């Protein structure tokens, strides 16, 4: 099957992989092709239009790939699987595809982390965020805490930066350098992909009232071996014969 590229050429080798493991996230600036950006914007706007009539338990934003064939086609796109395997190694499963569109005035989200195999670092879980039209730090901007993922704490919480500093961050240092952990605001151009280990502490700043919609979708992959609470795949979708997804869709 012929696939249209979704990524421009990019570098993600040993050095970049080490940075991801050290920081918990890695920014691939502007790697989405113009066509991918255009198609993703269309698909994400379509998902957005379905949300008001969404069914509880099978929401268009939480099961996005099940509602749009372009989003579905990315799950097993060769460039996507190559990237996921550069992070996780050969044996991977698809976990979920969630749209994270934030329109003007959206409140963002407070500090949190996500869990998976909290007690066993052999099993990894990565989120691959597509920030289709990018973001500024103070306008629907992702923030992270480099090194926080190494604690493998899936229950980090903090309503504000202050609350995180006075809460979970107290006394926490980077296990490899001994430096105190710190909040890092990000700003990224359109077409940016961000890789993030699932245990990393992260938050999102509010979208300014006059800003356009921040278009974003996240694809999650993991090493099989543990139950996954975020595995949002309907039984029908798990068994749908999508080319390239053979062996990718099951829990184990
Ligand atoms: O909207 C975002 O940029 C990130 C949202 C988030 O925290 C997540 O999907 O886990
Ligand atoms: Fe999150």
Rounded to whole angstroms, the Cα distance separating 149 from 60 reads 29
Predicted pLDDT at 230: 94
What's the mean pLDDT in 52-70? 98
Predicted pLDDT at 212: 98
What's the mean pLDDT in 101-124? 98
Report the SS3 class of residue 81. helix
For residue 1, is pLDDT > 90? no
Q: Which atom of ligand 1 is nearest to the CA of 112?
A: 7
104 is written with which tokens? 């003007």
What's the mean pLDDT in 45-61? 98
User: Within a 10 A sphere around the Cβ of 72, how many other Cβ atoms?
Assistant: 18
For residue 123, is pLDDT > 70? yes
- Tell me how far the alpha carbon of residue 69 is from its chain's centroid: 19
64 is written with which tokens? 């996005």
In the reported structure, the alpha carbon of residue 247 is separated from the centroid of ligand 2 by a whole-number distance in angstroms of 26
Q: Which of 44, 59, 100 to mutate to test the pocket of ligand 1 (most atoms within 8 A of CB)?
A: 100
Predicted pLDDT at 113: 98
Q: Which atom of ligand 1 is nearest to the CA of 98?
A: 9
Q: What is the pTM of this model?
A: 0.98
Domains of the chain and any CATH numbers:
14-226 (2.60.120.620)
For residue 92, is pLDDT > 70? yes
β strands within the chain, DSSP E: 25-28, 93-99, 109-112, 125-131, 142-144, 157-158, 184-185, 192-197, 202-204, 216-222
> Which tens digits make up the pLDDT trace of 208-248?
999 999 999 999 999 999 999 999 999 999 999 999 999 99
Closest CA to 36 of 150, 133, 167, 115: 133
Report the SS3 class of residue 185. strand
Cβ proximity of 142 and 27 under 8 Å: no
Q: Which helix (H) or strand (E) holds 156?
A: none
In the reported structure, the alpha carbon of residue 168 is separated from the centroid of ligand 1 by a whole-number distance in angstroms of 19
> Which tens digits make up the pLDDT trace of 174-196?
999 999 999 999 999 999 999 99
What's the mean pLDDT in 48-57? 97
> Which tens digits make up the pLDDT trace of 30-46?
999 999 999 999 999 99
189 is written with which tokens? 């151009």
For residue 84, is pLDDT > 70? yes
CA distances 22 to 134, 146, 173, 198, Å, are 24, 7, 12, 14
In the reported structure, the alpha carbon of residue 202 is separated from the centroid of ligand 2 by a whole-number distance in angstroms of 6
| Residues flanking ligand 1, CB < 6 Å | 100, 109, 142, 202, 204, 216, 218
In the reported structure, the alpha carbon of residue 218 is separated from the centroid of ligand 1 by a whole-number distance in angstroms of 8
141 is written with which tokens? 């901007």
Predicted pLDDT at 2: 76
Predicted pLDDT at 24: 98
């Amino acid at each position: 099957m012929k696939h249209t590229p979704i990524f421009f050429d990019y570098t993600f080798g040993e050095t970049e992989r080490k940075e991801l493991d050290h920081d918990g996230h890695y920014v691939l600036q502007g790697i989405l092709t113009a066509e991918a950006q255009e198609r993703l914007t269309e698909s994400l706007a379509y998902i957005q239009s379905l949300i008001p009539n969404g069914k509880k338990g099978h929401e268009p934003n939480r099961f996005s790939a099940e509602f749009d064939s372009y989003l579905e086609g990315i799950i097993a796109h060769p460039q996507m699987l190559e990237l996921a395997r550069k992070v996780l190694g050969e044996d991977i499963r698809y976990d979920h595809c969630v749209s994270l569109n934030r329109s003007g005035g959206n409140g963002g989200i407070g500090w949190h982390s996500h869990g998976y195999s909290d007690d066993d670092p052999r099993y990894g879980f990565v989120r691959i965020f597509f920030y289709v039209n990018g973001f500024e730090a103070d306008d629907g901007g992702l923030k992270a805490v480099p090194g926080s993922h190494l604690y493998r704490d899936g229950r980090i919480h903090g309503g504000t930066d202050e609350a995180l500093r006075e809460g979970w961050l107290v006394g926490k240092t980077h296990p490899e350098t001994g430096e105190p952990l710190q909040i890092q605001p990000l700003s990224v151009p359109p077409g940016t992909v961000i890789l993030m280990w699932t245990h990393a502490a992260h938050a999102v700043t509010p979208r300014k009232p006059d800003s356009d919609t921040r278009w974003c979708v996240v694809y999650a992959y993991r090493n099989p071996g543990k139950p996954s609470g975020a595995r949002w795949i309907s039984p029908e979708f798990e068994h749908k014969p999508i080319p390239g997804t053979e062996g990718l869709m099951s829990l184990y």
